[in-house]
Chain A
């Protein structure tokens, strides 16, 4: 069955079950995203993709909201912009987005004030360098859940990571904070591949940032691999 709706005043016809985000793309309208990724399950976390629907009490996250007949959707209304700008400002006051280029662009697009929330408590964390393959710097983590999903049901089925904490203290956890080599991790790198903010970086990149050359990196990684506990 096809569903007819309008997006920013333009008529659109799509199949039932299509999301608002997919429908908007049909007419070349893009909604900004933070948590969305093709390879992982959309959970509607970041709400950066929200749009306004006539008659709805609250905004709708375009990545998970299915189209319905005669819906009138506004992807860039005042309310939408307000929410997106404030989400970015609140997030920037919480974590280090310096290595999340896409979010830097979004902050410029929505004229987010990078100092909007003075004296805000930041989510600080120690850099976790506990294996030869990747480094975890959760001060940069935006809690998009993609690494957990990639490690679990969406890609690898290894389940070494879980969402942890609660509320503002949300975080990515391993079993009783175990270092990665002591978990079920198989170092497939899927989590690193889907991380949007460089909270997870490969060792190669990490060493390159520290100024090591190709040979030094190889040697360093070899040394670390040898120290790994055997499973």
Chain B
């Protein structure tokens, strides 16, 4: 409970004083040094006073393309302050932060607990006063089996959910044995949508077979990969489908307790999910003997992240729920046997769980009508950057990047020429127009040595300087490295330093080789997926455009 207590103190008093930290540590019997360690780890926690309202502006690539740096300048000028500095009246505190998961509304901001879309510099006044526009989900796709309810139902209404095929999958599940549910999921060929594409059936089978009376279900709703916002849209517009997926998982592996861990920068999704949980308890979709099935008990708790991308990594997420610094654990052992509180745990992504609900409703054969042989089921992509229609795209058949961008998303803004696509996420690759005919499937991307990652397609037109985007990505990884292992703790900083020189046109002789050595050392020797992919985009850019890294426009004094 340490993290919830610290977040509560932060929300009430805009920081955590030494006195409060001491009270919390003593009440929860956590060593005081550890309390400080935890406060220092999470960026939403401050040990010094901030201000009544914190305004956070995204500085990741999609928002940067849309002018977020100018927004920060305008805000601080109007408030007569500087970033990370409270206004003298203690009212406002402006901060640049990594991707807020609203890239389709770039530049995105968060005013206290309220998300704000299109927070451009000219709207600084309304952003300060709190009259700015809140973002709505934007979803495209010819057929939308997965997101059919989004924008149609009242997200917090259980009745509405029931009227729109809700819990039909769960009722099918409850008529089957857990083994049969696992068989269905395997037949459907569902693969995790959190980035690693791990087969969900195998994961659940592992957790189901683990011998332990206490098991957990965890929904990973920490979505913080720059460019990714699909989970936010599901959480805000069809949250019951996620709950239904968790109930299916609980029934299948016999877990009695679950957690949904939602990133701290998604306060609106958190508010919605709290209501969803309350409604589910009221109607016996949570609690004891769920829907009259004797012995099917399941309790669900929501937990908030506190500002750390690394907590999306499954074992770091467990540490966060356990109230510790979000350090990834060494694997093996794997979560299916040693997960949350060291107990067998099935952890899944939001979109994966929504897919479970769909597939258990329509059956594996019908489910496989969507997608391709090697990539079954519908799949969400997040389009952002210089594209006419940014948003979430539900893809249900073999589609190439070219079709997605030019036929479905209207091409580039102002008919500009395409320069590059950041594909898969900040942890993904830059690709060039030559690769536009790539089909968006696991099998085709794997063959091209790429990864779909979390479905990010971020578009850069011909006028953009890729080096600027690289500095932003480099900054992101240096900011988000947990610091546990040396290659990433040190390498993300060294990488950023070189990228900054490159971007200023002040590369030193040998920088290309330095960047290469740092990049491969992180990729090869880091402890977790963050460090192992922190150089992917950079290395891909070096391959495509080596000349960018050698251009020297400033004399080295």
Contact = CB atoms under 8 A, between A and B. Distances in A.
Q: Do A and B come from one complex?
A: yes
Contacts, number: 153
Contact of A46 (B21, B486, B491): B486
A159 B31 contact: yes
Contacts of B480: 167
Contacts of A170: 483, 489
Contact of A173 (B33, B490, B518): B33
B532 interface: yes
A160 B33 contact: yes
Contacts of B31: 152, 159-160, 162, 184
A1 interface: no
Contact of A87 (B37, B40, B481, B521): B521
A44 to B, nearest CB: 5
A43 interface: yes
Contact of B521 (A83, A152, A177): A83
Contact of A167 (B22, B34, B481, B487): B481
B483 A169 contact: yes
Interface stretch (B237-245, B398-406, B425-433, B492-500): B492-500
A43 B484 contact: yes
B485 interface: yes
A82 B520 contact: yes
A119 B40 contact: no
A162 B486 contact: no
B479 interface: yes
Given A90-B490, A93-B494, A175 B483 contact: no
A86 B525 CA distance: 10
A43 B36 contact: no
Nearest to B18: A176
A50 B514 CA distance: 20
B485 A45 contact: yes
Contacts of B484: 43, 45
Contacts of B41: 164-166
Given A90-B518, A166-B481, A168-B492, 18 more contacts: A43-B330, A44-B485, A48-B486, A59-B524, A83-B521, A119-B497, A160-B33, A166-B308, A166-B482, A167-B481, A168-B483, A170-B489, A173-B40, A174-B36, A175-B22, A175-B33, A176-B18, A176-B36
B508 to A, nearest CB: 6
A43 B483 CA distance: 12
A120 interface: yes
Contacts of A46: 485-486
A170 B47 CA distance: 16
- The list of the 8 closest CB pairs from A to B, nearest first, reads A162-B37, A159-B31, A170-B483, A175-B32, A167-B481, A168-B493, A162-B33, A90-B490
A61 B528 CA distance: 12
B188 interface: no
B35 interface: yes
A104 interface: no
A185 to B, nearest CB: 10
Interface string B14-27: 00001001100100
A167 B494 contact: no
Given A50-B525, A82-B517, A163-B325, A90 B486 contact: yes
Contacts of B290: none
A110 B36 CA distance: 38
Contacts of B18: 175-176
A58 interface: yes
A82 B485 CA distance: 17
A94 interface: yes
Interface in B328-348: 330, 332
B313 to A, nearest CB: 14
A100 interface: no
Residue of A59, A116, A164 with highest tally of chain B CB at under 10 A: A164
A196 B131 CA distance: 56
Interface string B283-323: 00000000000000000000000001000000000000000
Given A82-B520, A162-B33, A168-B489, A176 B525 contact: no
A180 to B, nearest CB: 11
Contacts of B481: 166-168
A15 B481 CA distance: 36
Nearest to A92: B490
A207 B271 CA distance: 59
Contacts of A86: 487, 491, 517-518, 520-521
Contact of B37 (A116, A119, A173, A184): A173
Contact of A159 (B33, B308, B521): B33
B387 interface: no
Contacts of B183: none
B527 interface: yes
A167 B525 contact: no
A183 B25 CA distance: 14
Given A44-B330, A87-B525, A119-B497, A167 B36 contact: no
Contact of B34 (A59, A90, A159): A159
A203 interface: no
A91 B490 contact: yes
B36 A175 contact: yes
21 contacts: A44-B330, A44-B485, A44-B527, A87-B521, A90-B487, A90-B518, A91-B490, A117-B494, A159-B31, A160-B33, A162-B33, A162-B34, A162-B37, A164-B37, A165-B40, A165-B41, A167-B489, A167-B492, A175-B21, A175-B35, A176-B21
